[in-house]
A and B are shown apart, each in its own frame.
Chain A
Amino acid sequence: MNNYILLPIIGLGVLLVAALISNMIKYEGGANPKDPRKRKIVFWLFFVLNPLIAYSVGLAMSPDAGIAKTQHMQSLPVGLGIGVAVYFLLGFAMSKAMKTSKVGNWF
């Protein structure tokens, strides 16, 4: 599978993990609860982790040598960029579409 497909899929997977963890953060009580901030931190933490994870996977999936490897390595940054964009744009869309849910705290 090439990087233009693989890395965006990883971005989506990382987004789902961020959503799962955000959902498991309890609503806190009181007039100034801190849980919305915790969920924001989770989103941005995985925003940073996403390219790192994707890059590691991309490296691991690289052919051993030759033109295939060169092409794979050349497409890696582009795939990373798409993966980051997928994470951010889908995350933004989810947050706005599900404003009253826990992921609504992301934005």
Chain B
Amino acid sequence: MDDQLYVIGVGGTGMRCLESFVHLCAIGMLDGKEINVLTLDTDANNGNLKRVKDLITSYRRIKSGTVNDGGTPNRNTFFSSKLNYYHYHTNYMKQGKRDNYRNLSNLSGQSSVEDENQMLADLFLDKDTVQVFDLKHGYRAQTHLGSQLMFHGLVEAAKKLAKGTNITDEEKSLGEFIDKLEQSGKNSRVFVFGSVFGGTGASSIPVLPSALKEAIKIKNEGSNLDISDVKFGSTLLTSYFDFNRPNSTQKENSKESVIASATFFPLNSQAALQFYQGDPTVQSVYNKLYHIGWPLPAKKLDDSKKTETITGGADQKNKCHFVELIAACAALDFFTASSVETTGTAKYVFRTGQYENGAFNFSASDLVGVEQNKDQKLISKLGGFLSLAHISLSKNHAGFGEKGFLGLKRHLENQNIDSFKTSITEADLDELDKYMRSFGYSFTDDGAFKSGWIYQIRNSIAPGKFIFTNEAFAMSIKELKGLDVGKLFEDPNYHWESALTLSGRDTYQPWLKRLVNIEVNTEEHQLTHDKEKFIALLHDGIMISQQQQN
């Protein structure tokens, strides 16, 4: 029996790694898989959380048939994985009751036990700063506090679920996630995305397996799940980005007395790695730990022109970075390995890339290895999806605000491919365009270019190279409209067949012509409705075009 797959994205960095993972699913790297995704954060309004939530919602809508259930897993097409989405965030909003550690722990000194607990808390947590800062934007790199509170948050939710009264949406969602985990038991693989240098991820990674075990035991009394039977993997993602330092106004505000500073991230990373190497609990619960770092000076990722630290909330919406794609590929490795060693000691793995003239040049094999031709699959699938994105955004102008896939569908109808005429609505196609804008690019109302995921990933390693030519990442409207969608690769072996036109050779024309003659094999692709069939048609056209050469 295949293992059931679970992904947990924790904190801001975890969300961005999850974003890359969702795109890996969209391009078809996890064919035929059903993946249960849990977003776990302290900050319900976090911009990174909202972005990945919107992305997963869009993905599920694209895959859904008449019922919005996220569809079914398919084979050998785009959007071939099914994603089930769950979410939980701790609640630190109630002013005076739950907004800081002191109020939340409520150690009022009414008994000798509480006195001792207060002394213990004072020993580890500074009572004038750490115990009183506002928790609504997370743990602010105070991992000793965060681990305790995240454990508490999950256990508290489990107790409420067991009681069955006043259950919030996020508690219900968490309950569904842990029920599923309990059911699949030892046939589960759980991968955790998070950083080790920040706040929420760094706090949660060490305690998540035991917190989940405790939560299951409390919620489902009598559960005999042995959490050591569940296979756990995680990223050990060390510091790779920078952001504004706190200004003097922020430092003087007692509620903001603790603010994460990027200055300390390398030190935090070092301390965290020492912990992960030596801690016997982590060693015994995690099967595989993927050490991912970035040796170059950290890039500033906050878009904001503000001169203060953004501690969280809707403004925390950092740009994507290549290490997040590497982290997503780590999850891919964990999920697609034929077996996961359960020796009782964690295995540490890493990868390297070619570094030349001050920049990294990555090949696909640097990310996914060469076993089972995964590197060629990544080039083909990622390149194919980028081609499709450009077909929608650049050729059919979805990037400039028009309806790209609608234009493509109308063209197919003119070629007598009208089986999708009534079964795929304009709203369905708009959702595909929306996803492509998140993946590729768009233009704002005032004409400014806005990079999507893959542009941001590539910009984070520029001037280094990764699979594609510079032309594949054009940014002016003129270049985008003239872009040749079948010639995006550095390796000409993946270039599409081209035809002569009045304005030179072009690969889009033969691709359009090819679509007319493709018979989509519903059984082979495991398709269940016309939206999936439409996507499979476009996918097959692209894959065949990659194999045909001039």
Query: Do these two chains interact?
Result: yes
> Contact residues of A with B, CB < 8 Å?
21, 24-27, 29-33, 99-100, 104
- Chain B residues, CB < 8 A from A25: 501-502
A24 to B498, CA, bound (A): 12
> A26 touching B407 by the CB < 8 A rule?
no
Residues of A within 8 A of B41 (CB): none
Whether the pair B403, A27 counts as a contact (CB closer than 8 A) is no
Decide: B411 and A27 in contact? CB cutoff 8 A. yes
Q: A100-B416, A100-B516 are in contact. Are A31 and B503 (CB under 8 A)?
A: no
- Cβ 8 A contact of A26, one of B391, B404, B502: B502
Interface secondary structure of B, over-half rule: helix
**How large, as a class, is the contact surface on chain B?**
20 to 34
Q: Are B501 and A26 closer than 8 Å at their CB atoms?
A: yes
Chain A minimum-CB-distance residue to B410:
A31
Cβ proximity bits B265-306 to A, threshold 8 Å, 1 near / 0 not:
000000000000000000000000000000000000000000
> CA–CA, A32 to B404, complex, Å?
10
The distance in angstroms between the C-alpha atoms of A24 and B391, with both chains bound, is 19
Closest to B506 in A: A26
A24-B509 Cα distance, complex, nearest whole Å = 10
- The minimal Cβ–Cβ distance linking B409 to chain A, given in whole angstroms, is 10
A31-B402, A31-B403, A100-B516 as given contacts; A26 in contact with B503, CB under 8 Å? yes
Answer whether residue B508 sits at the interface, using C-beta atoms and an 8 A cutoff.
yes
B259 within 8 A of A: no
Chain B residues lying within 8 Å of A29, measured Cβ to Cβ, are 391, 394-397, 404, 407-408, 411
Q: Which of B397, B500, B502 contacts A30 (CB 8 A)?
A: B397
Contacting residue for A33 out of B394, B403, B407, B501, CB 8 A? B407
Q: Is B415 an interface residue (CB 8 A)?
A: yes
Q: Is the CB of B416 within 8 A of A31?
A: no
Q: In the complex, which residues of chain A have a beta carbon less than 8 angstroms from the beta carbon of B406?
A: 31
When chains A and B are docked, how far (Å) is the Cα of A32 from the Cα of B406?
Answer: 10
CA distance A32 to B400 in the complex (A): 14
Residue interface bits B527-549, CB-to-A below 8 A is 1, else 0: 00000000000000000000000
Considering the chains assembled together, what is the distance between the CA atoms of A25 and B509 in angstroms?
10
Residues of B contacting A27 with CB < 8 Å?
411, 508-509, 512
Chain B residue numbers with a CB within 8 Å of A24 are: 500-502
B414 within 8 A of A: yes
Bound Cα distance from A27 to B407, whole angstroms: 11
Question: How distant is the Cα of A74 from the Cα of B414 in the complex, in angstroms?
Answer: 46
Chain A hits for B508, CB < 8 A: 26-27
Which of chain A's residues has its CB closest to B406's CB? A31
Question: Which residue of B408, B506, B509, B512 has the most chain A CB atoms within 10 A of its CB atom?
Answer: B509
The 6 nearest A-B residue pairs measured at CB: A29-B396, A29-B395, A30-B397, A31-B407, A100-B415, A30-B407
Nearest Cβ in chain A — how far from B442, in angstroms?
15
A selection of 5 A-B contacts at a CB cut-off of 8 Å is A25-B502, A29-B394, A29-B395, A30-B407, A104-B414
Give chain B residues whose Cβ lies under 8 Å from the Cβ of A99.
Answer: 416
Taking the closest CB of chain B, its distance from the CB of A104, in whole angstroms, is 8
For window 371-428 of B, CB contacts with A under 8 Å fall at 391, 394-397, 402-404, 406-408, 410-411, 414-416
A33 to B396, CA, bound (A): 9
* Chain A residue contacts of B396, Cβ below 8 A: 29-31
Residues of A within 8 A of B408 (CB): 29
